[in-house]
Amino acid sequence: MMFLRSLQPIASCSRSASRILPPVAARGPRLTRFVTTRTTPYHINGQTYPLDDHSNVPPTILAKLDRNLHLNPSHPISILRSIIESHFSTFTPVTPSSPILTVTQNFDDLGFTPDHPGRALSDSYYLNKNHVLRTHTSAHEIETYQKGLNQWLLTADVYRRDEIDSSHYPVFHQMEGASVWPSSELYKLPQMNAELASKLAECPLIIEDTSSISPENPYQKSHDPEHAAQITQHLKHSLNSLIFRLFGPIATKDGEPLRIRWIDAYFPFTSPSFEVEVWWDGDWLELLGSGVMQQPLLNRAGVPDKSGWAFGLGLERLCMVLFSIPDIRLFWTEDPRFISQFTPGQITPFKPYSKYPPVTRDVSFWIPDASKKGVTQWHENDYCEIVRDVAGDLVETVQLIDEFTHPKTGRRSKTYRLTYRSMDRNLLNDEISGLQSEVERRTISEMGIEIR
Ligand code: FA5
Ligand code: MG
């Protein structure tokens, strides 16, 4: 889940940003929760999931359930998957069957508190209050340890309601990797670490490790600190060697060495916890989360004698850097000019077949007053969801460019810039005006906004 979410920068922009579409008469706030407009139960793979006040999976997301990009050997996601699997050659590859999990599997079993933001309807897709579309591959940790596997790599599609830009998409792929040892084998770690350290060849990569063990990011009380330190070392060496392997060939980009950094993080199921980021396109891009498995989780999985580490990495993010894929939506295009460029087993740079011009629209509105009874709290992800539902992959970014509170009435206004661009063709102005009016119609009736 996004545990430490960075704030979107708000570009300086005049409050009277031109409003391209005429104001639409407000019809007053909708008094119910923002959920799907669907009326019939979900039927997926022969199972029926009755609707309730949690159901919020739109048709655009349901349509992604069968795409299985990670199983198509010519797709960059699958190519990267198999390269990582061949790097960790002693690890068992695992593919879970369905993205539909119980709330217990996805959250409770991993120690998410009842009020954890990752559980919010604004952040996750629920079929109903008991069933969620997997939000991360960590949801399969317990069952995989239960199978008795000690070293494994599990790849799957995951689903999150999120912002809209070139590196976020509501469906993406994660690879979960783990390595655990019975206590009788932990004595081998210093030797394995020494071997890994000596193999980490000189490479024009800058790795900055800013992480540290502290009361905020501690070794676990039930662990011998010496063992915890060796497991942490093995985690870092293993991931650094993967990064060297993947980035070695492109380690100098535009004459600059590639920069990777380790930072402290927090996950309910690991301690200590870390994230790894890469410097890309002028900013730090987060690649993965990782840490030493919480012992209570391994105990619950029936392997109390084992301890070790796990990581979860975003395959799209890595692919974008390695294959020079500029926009996360491209992974989903069915244009043969995309898929025909790739060869199983090889990392080759993507050659954009064309860059079509963007069409932008700015829209300013008053957000509904959540202090009024029955009015749902404004959430940007709900807004993004409607935009995606209407415009699909034609929407490139939804950017907050201005906000203010009216000094007298206390009403809050927001101005968003919606950028539309097709990956495959030129857009027509009329087409975008039609989509934009539909976005406005739905945000008025479903979220209770009032266009300024
Ligand atoms: C997790 O999902 C943890 N389960 C990772 C983990 C596993 C930690 C095992 C400890 C042990 P996070 O929410 O940070 O963490 O997501 C992991 C990665 O998924 C991110 O680093 C990023 O590369 C990718 N990611 C997250 N959100 C998106 C998105 N909307 N689109 C594309 N990639 C994303
Ligand atoms: Mg993260």
pLDDT tens string 348-370: 999 998 889 999 999 999 999 88
Query: pLDDT tens digits for 95-148?
Result: 998 999 999 999 999 999 999 999 999 999 999 999 999 999 999 999 999 999
pLDDT of residue 14: 25
Show Cβ contacts of residue 383 under 8 Å, excluding neighbours closer than 6 positions: 398, 416, 443, 447
Q: Give the residue carrying structure tokens 């301890």.
A: 307
| Residue 155, pLDDT above cutoff 70 | yes
418 alpha carbon – ligand 2 mean position (Å): 25
Phi, psi of 296 (to 5 degrees): -60, -30
Ligand 1 atom nearest the C-alpha of 141 is 9
Phi, psi of 148 (to 5 degrees): 90, 5
Phi, psi of 216 (to 5 degrees): -80, -25
Question: Which residue owns the Cα nearest ligand 1 atom 12?
Answer: 1
276 alpha carbon – ligand 2 mean position (Å): 9
pLDDT of residue 191: 97
294 alpha carbon – ligand 1 mean position (Å): 18
Note whether 387 and 440 are within 8 A (CB): no
Task: Count CA within 13 A, CB hemisphere, residue 322.
Answer: 25
Note whether 121 and 56 are within 8 A (CB): yes
Q: Give the residue carrying structure tokens 């995989």.
A: 144
pTM summary value: 0.86
Show Cβ contacts of residue 29 under 8 Å, excluding neighbours closer than 6 positions: 368, 369, 372, 375, 447, 448
333: left (phi over 0), alpha (psi -120 to 50) or beta: beta
- CA-nearest of 377, 420, 378, 379 to 398 is 420
Ligand 1 atom nearest the C-alpha of 174 is 19
Q: Indicate the top mutation candidate among 106, 109, 122, 172 to test ligand 1's pocket, ranked by most ligand atoms within 8 A of CB.
A: 172
Question: Which residue owns the Cα nearest ligand 1 atom 16?
Answer: 1
Q: Both tokens of residue 246?
A: 């993947």
pLDDT of residue 245: 87
Q: How far apart are CA 417 and CA 396, in angstroms?
A: 11
266 alpha carbon – ligand 2 mean position (Å): 9
Find the angle CA(107)-CA(110)-CA(113) to the nearest 5 degrees: 60
pLDDT of residue 253: 65
Q: Both tokens of residue 163?
A: 């912002």
Ligand 1 atom nearest the C-alpha of 311 is 9
Q: Which ligand is nearest to the CA of 292?
A: 1
| Chain centroid to CA 98 | 18
Q: Which CATH architecture has domain 64-99+134-213+223-340?
A: 2-Layer Sandwich (3.30)
Ligand 1 atom nearest the C-alpha of 313 is 18
Tell me the pLDDT band of 17, cut-offs 50, 70 and 90: very low
3 alpha carbon – ligand 2 mean position (Å): 6
| Residue 9, pLDDT above cutoff 80 | no
Q: Residues of CATH 3.30.930.10 domain(s) within the chain? A: 64-99+134-213+223-340
- DSSP letters spanning 114-149: TT-GGGSTTTS-EEETTEEE-S-GGGGHHHHHHTT-
Q: In terms of C-beta density within 10 A (0-12 exposed, 13-18 middle, 19 or more buried), how is residue 276 classed?
A: buried
Question: Which residue owns the Cα nearest ligand 1 atom 7?
Answer: 312
Question: Which residue owns the Cα nearest ligand 1 atom 31?
Answer: 168
Q: Residues of CATH 3.30.70.380 domain(s) within the chain? A: 356-451
Residue 226: which H helix or E strand, with range?
helix 225-247
405 alpha carbon – ligand 1 mean position (Å): 34
Q: How far apart are CA 417 and CA 362, in angstroms?
A: 4
288 alpha carbon – ligand 2 mean position (Å): 7
Q: Give the residue carrying structure tokens 């019939």.
A: 40
Give the CA distances from residue 442 to residues 36, 164, 342, 373, in Å, rounded to whole numbers and listed in that order.
12, 18, 39, 21
Averaged pLDDT, 234-251: 88
CATH node for 356-451: 3.30.70.380
Q: Which ligand is nearest to the CA of 118?
A: 1
Q: How far apart are CA 201 and CA 243, in angstroms?
A: 12
Q: What is the mean pLDDT of the chain?
A: 89
pLDDT of residue 201: 65
| Residue 29, pLDDT above cutoff 50 | no
Q: Which ligand is nearest to the CA of 314?
A: 1
12 alpha carbon – ligand 1 mean position (Å): 30
- CA-nearest of 148, 155, 41, 56 to 99 is 155
Q: Which ligand is nearest to the CA of 235?
A: 1
Averaged pLDDT, 173-188: 98
Pocket of ligand 1 (CB under 6 A): 1-2, 136, 138, 160, 162, 168-169, 172, 174, 176, 267, 270, 273, 286-291, 310-314, 316-317
Ligand 1 atom nearest the C-alpha of 135 is 2
Q: Both tokens of residue 62?
A: 């349901």
Averaged pLDDT, 366-375: 85
Ligand 1 atom nearest the C-alpha of 178 is 9
Q: Which ligand is nearest to the CA of 280?
A: 1
| Residue 323, pLDDT above cutoff 70 | yes
Q: How far apart are CA 121 and CA 119, in angstroms?
A: 7
90 alpha carbon – ligand 2 mean position (Å): 27
Task: Count CA within 13 A, CB hemisphere, residue 235.
Answer: 30
Q: Which ligand is nearest to the CA of 140?
A: 1
Tell me the pLDDT band of 22, cut-offs 50, 70 and 90: very low
Ligand 1 atom nearest the C-alpha of 136 is 2
Find the angle CA(59)-CA(60)-CA(63) to the nearest 5 degrees: 80
pLDDT of residue 35: 55
**Can you point out the beta strands (E) in 232-370?**
252-253, 256-264, 270-280, 283-293, 306-314, 359-366
